[in-house]
Structure 1
Amino acid sequence: MDYATMGRSGLRVSRACLGAMNFGTGHAFAGCDEAEATRIIGAFLDAGHNFIDTADAYTGGQSEEIVGRAVRGRRESVVLATKAFMPQGDGPNHRGLSRLHLTRALEASLRRLGTDHLDLYQCHGWDDGTPIEETMATLDGFVRSGKVRYLGCSNFTAAQIVEAQWAADRIGGTPFVSLQPQYSLVARSIEAEILPACRRHGLGTAVWSPLGGGVLTGRYRRDEAPEPESRLRRLLDSPLPAARTWAGTLLNDRNLDIADEVRKVAAGLGATPAAVALAWVAGRPGVTSVIIGPRTLDQLHANLTGLTLDLPADAADHLDQISRSTTITPVNGMTAPRAA
């Protein structure tokens, strides 16, 4: 099994990270019930991988509960990560990165996960309404209490990463060791400033949406509406404005052109388009781990196969050339790709 060190730390994680956003039912991002999620988690761990990522916002807390029950009995072999920031109620203090909200959020996540500590606790977004010194001091307190081992962030810009690391240094606190950014053949903007900031300031990366919301699997075609059961259709129908906006940026001519090239490369290698797209991301400089979000056991096995595919250098270079120019548009603290 191939493990990598997360940033400037001693934490060793598998190159595949199991993203648990789909685990649960009855919510906008729900993808599978507990029985299937438990099978997925068991197969992932049985294959030697150790990194599982969830969040308090995923499926209304169901994801954390499902993950917690599934890893019971093998908790010590799991690098368990979750995130906080998203709304957990209607009140003004039920969201963000304040000391009040983060303290409540951590206790709730520990309760749902059925554990006394988290291996990696992450800020799910940047909070303009809270001084970064307050956030970093609060997180440092979690580490000192033993409830959290390492700290990370998600969807931060390069400037925000620098601010956070400087704040941790000023207060003599614990810095971030990881970032969760969006990265794929259709979303490469992190290469310009974010990845260099991570290298300079000691952050590893666990990249999300490596299949470009499913576009790179070859499932979607020009002038055809996404199928009702597809992930993109569920995102487009989501009650969350940020999810709808992000999904709406994915189906454009440039992204579909890239998907066509991925299909051609895959055909030449006797592989699937998803495997090629995953192999490309996993081989990029600065990528520590790749977050996969399977909804079925078959999807898990297919994704793991992609992360072991040996992508020839000429194929990787070709995909690099045809996908090089992208920018991002902010979407409520998240990011979305669009053609430059």
Structure 2
Amino acid sequence: MEYRQLGGSGLKVPILTLGTGTFGGGDHQLFKAWGNTGVPEATRLVDIALEAGLTMFDSADIYSEGRSEEILGKAIAGRRDKVLISTKGTFRNGDGPNDVGSSRHALIRAVDASLKRLGTDYIDLYQLHGYDAQTPVEEVMNTLDDLIRAGKIRYIGASNFSGWHLQKALSFAEKHNLARFVAHQAYYSLVGRDYEWELMPLGLDQKVGAVVWSPLGWAKLTGKIRRGQPAPEGTRSSDKTNLDVGPQVDDEYLYKVVDAIDEIAAETGKTVPQIALNWLLQRPSVSTLVIGARNEEQLRANLGAVGWNLTPEQVAKLDEASKLPPIYPYWHQLGFSERNPFPV
């Protein structure tokens, strides 16, 4: 397993991270669609991951109302020193007026609750799950810095921020000598390349590593969807609730991208998901991809995305198939590539 620096930090992370959104399930319609992995199977998935050198596991306090963190904690029991844990907070996690957001009150409670569920006394990477426009940036960043100084978290990141959200927090932290975000957990895939226009160059400039969520395009690049071949019943890609809340992709665009992947699959002998993941691992600013797995078979298949590389010609073919016209001002900047080159 290859390891990369997490942004501008000294922490090295595996290029694949196991996402635990499939742990728990329960009654919530969205998380039920993701999976309902219990402790025995979760422990087996952790075993396989560690054997392959995949040592980082990602969760969030809202996944299955906390059950994901609880199950992860039990699955890593007795081997905490061998793993890296990343989790997230900010979204509503209770009925009270302060059970949401990134206020000092909410963050301290959220971190303490995550530590208890995970059965650990520190979190390696703690990420704000979304931007909180209701809380001053100075309150957010000072609280995170205090939590680091208290030893409860070691590194901090953001998730789903826009470029100006991220830069505002980074600038405040730098000005006041506080801990800075070293990671941005962002959506990025062959059928979702918006990340490239602003967040990628920002990440490279400010040394914020991309922790990519849903690298298979919200289950659209699993190989189960092709032109004239609807997603099989019972899969995430056929679940209406799951599809409605995820990124929307035009069918014809999706088929065009999958057609190109199929051509490369024939050349390489690799699967659609393996090719989609490998393409992402060659993109600038990417530190790690958060992969999901409901079972051992899916995990082993995703692990097959590493240890080899697409050729430059194959990457170019996928680039062309997945290219979309950028929004303003990015289409304008493309006309001046001499001064605004694509990140490398």
TM-score, normalised on structure 1? 0.90
Q: Amino acid of the residue matched to residue 31 of structure 2?
A: F
Is contact 1:96-1:127 (8 Å) kept? Answer: yes
Residue-by-residue CA offset, 1:159-202 (whole Å, 9 max, x unaligned) = 11100111212332111010111111111111111011111212
* Aligned counterparts of 1:232 and 1:85: Cα–Cα separation in 2: 27
Residues 1:212 and 2:217 aligned together: yes
**Counterpart in the other structure of 1:163:** 168
**Counterpart in the other structure of 2:31:** 29
**Counterpart in the other structure of 1:337:** none
**Counterpart in the other structure of 1:338:** none
Equivalent residues in 2 for 1:57-72 (5 A)? 57-72=62-77
Cα distance, 1:251 vs. partner? 5.2
Equivalent residues in 2 for 1:70-219 (5 A)? 70-219=75-224
**Counterpart in the other structure of 1:13:** 13
* Aligned counterparts of 1:20 and 1:327: Cα–Cα separation in 2: 33
Is contact 2:2-2:15 (8 Å) kept? Answer: yes
**Which consecutive residues of structure 1, in runs of 5 or more, have no partner in the other structure?**
329-340
Is contact 2:162-2:199 (8 Å) kept? Answer: yes
SS at match of 2:224: coil
Residue-by-residue CA offset, 1:82-135 (whole Å, 9 max, x unaligned) = 000111112221111111111110010000000000011100000111111111
Q: What number of residue pairs does the alignment pair up?
A: 322
Is contact 1:133-1:171 (8 Å) kept? Answer: no
SS at match of 1:214: coil
* Aligned counterparts of 1:163 and 1:299: Cα–Cα separation in 2: 39
SS at match of 1:298: helix
Is contact 2:157-2:183 (8 Å) kept? Answer: yes
* Aligned counterparts of 2:136 and 2:265: Cα–Cα separation in 1: 47
Residue-by-residue CA offset, 1:37-60 (whole Å, 9 max, x unaligned) = 221111101221211110001111
Cα distance, 1:318 vs. partner? 0.7
SS at match of 2:156: strand
* Aligned counterparts of 1:68 and 1:245: Cα–Cα separation in 2: 28
Q: 1:116/1:130 Cα in 2 relative to 1: closer, same or farther (>3 Å)?
A: same
Cα distance, 1:327 vs. partner? 5.9
* Aligned counterparts of 2:55 and 2:299: Cα–Cα separation in 1: 14
Worse-matched range after superposition: 267-276 or 120-129? 267-276
**Counterpart in the other structure of 2:293:** 294
- Output the aligned Cα RMSD: 1.7
**Counterpart in the other structure of 1:38:** 43
TM-score, normalised on structure 2? 0.89
Q: Percent same amino acid at aligned positions?
A: 41
Is contact 1:199-1:286 (8 Å) kept? Answer: yes
Q: Amino acid of the residue matched to residue 244 of structure 2?
A: R
Q: 1:281/1:91 Cα in 2 relative to 1: closer, same or farther (>3 Å)?
A: same
Residue-by-residue CA offset, 1:3-40 (whole Å, 9 max, x unaligned) = 11101111011011111111112232231321222211
* Aligned counterparts of 1:39 and 1:19: Cα–Cα separation in 2: 14
* Aligned counterparts of 2:72 and 2:176: Cα–Cα separation in 1: 34
* Aligned counterparts of 1:136 and 1:232: Cα–Cα separation in 2: 37
